Homo-oligomer: A and B are copies of this chain.
Amino acid sequence: MSKLLIVGTVAFDAIETPFGKTDKILGGAGTYIGLSAANFDIDSAVVSVVGDDFPQEYLDLMKNNKIDIEGIEVVKGGKTFFWSGRYHNDLNSRDTLDTQLNVLADFNPVVPDNYKDSEYVMLGNLHPLVQLSVLEQIENPKLVVLDTMNFWMDNTPEDLDKVIAKVDVITINDEEARQLSGEYSLVKAARKIAEMGPKYIVIKKGEHGALLFHEDQIFHAPALPLEEVFDPTGAGDTFAGGFIGYLARTNDISFENMKNAVIYGSNLASFCVEKFGTERMQKLSREEVNERLHDFKKLTHFETKLD
């Protein structure tokens, strides 16, 4: 079975949406990616850091989802990374209310020996040098996927360029793709980003779906139209987890199969936004995911009469 190594934050979030607010709940890119990829029954591990204020029940939750947590360092006397944000009424934008790096400030990721031969590596949103450090500990990965965001483009562009040059796939949102490339057209943006290193570019467009670019080929996965988006937190990470989880499970990194990976990413993300935080992802059944896959087929499939 393929191994998947994930690096990303494991954290506390406090979230406000038009529908309500939470106290400190389980959050972090590594958490969402791990829970999402866990739907594919693969051998996965998360590398991260928390403080000793982090509840054992959250670690147990990950273990119960068959996620190896040996690589999650617990810093004695340390405090776990905390993020707090408030979404605007349309849920498409948000304000950060508070960010406390805490133990993340000195995070020195250590990949467990048993995962140094991982075929699949997911570099969740973090400082590019932390991502690079993880990548350097993996012997000969088959596929490396990078998720990042505008914060690193603004603050550590040179470090970011270094990690972008070493990955196979990058996942970013449409505004970030425009910022990174300086191109408004996403077709042109993807071409410029490909010149920086990645052979595959995934551009996430939120409620408008996602685009996958590879050489001159393009694939589009819609987002499932939902009655209500309850909390968008973690949707992008859940997308990334579904994307790489499906690839690790099928162990096929062809462009044709990567289309399916984008669909599974959208599929899982459509569940994530239905409840606060990781709540929906904690209780997701194989049947629900399969049923929604059927919805994606109905949503996109057509058979024309003239051609």
Contact = CB atoms under 8 A, between A and B. Distances in A.
Interface string A232-254: 00000000000000100110100
B225 A299 contact: no
Interface stretch (A5-13, A119-127, A151-159, A183-191): A183-191
B222 A302 contact: no
A302 B250 contact: no
A133 interface: no
Contacts of A263: 302, 304
Interface stretch (A25-33, A52-60, A212-220): A212-220
Interface in A186-235: 186-188, 205, 208-209, 211, 217-222, 225-229
A227 to B, nearest CB: 5
Contacts of A225: 186-187, 211, 218, 220
Contacts of A301: 259, 300-301
| Best-buried of A185, A225, A228, A259 by chain B (most CB within 10 Å) | A225
Contacts of A221: 302
A139 B186 CA distance: 47
A62 interface: no
Interface string A264-307: 10000000000000000000000000100110001111111111
Contact of A306 (B249, B256, B298, B307): B249
A299 B220 contact: yes
A217 B225 CA distance: 11
Instruction: Name the residue in A205, A219, A221, A302 with the highest tally of chain B Cβ atoms < 10 Å from its Cβ.
Output: A302
Contacts of A228: 185, 188
Contacts of A187: 225-227
Given A219-B302, A220-B300, A227 B188 contact: yes
A35 B72 CA distance: 62
A260 interface: yes
Contacts of A304: 260, 263-264, 293
Contacts of A257: 305
A23 interface: no
Given A185-B229, A290-B307, A293-B307, 13 more contacts: A40-B306, A90-B184, A186-B225, A208-B209, A217-B298, A218-B225, A219-B302, A220-B300, A221-B302, A250-B306, A260-B303, A260-B304, A294-B307
Interface of A: 40, 89-90, 184-188, 205, 208-209, 211, 217-222, 225-229, 246, 249-250, 252, 256-257, 259-260, 263-264, 290, 293-294, 298-307
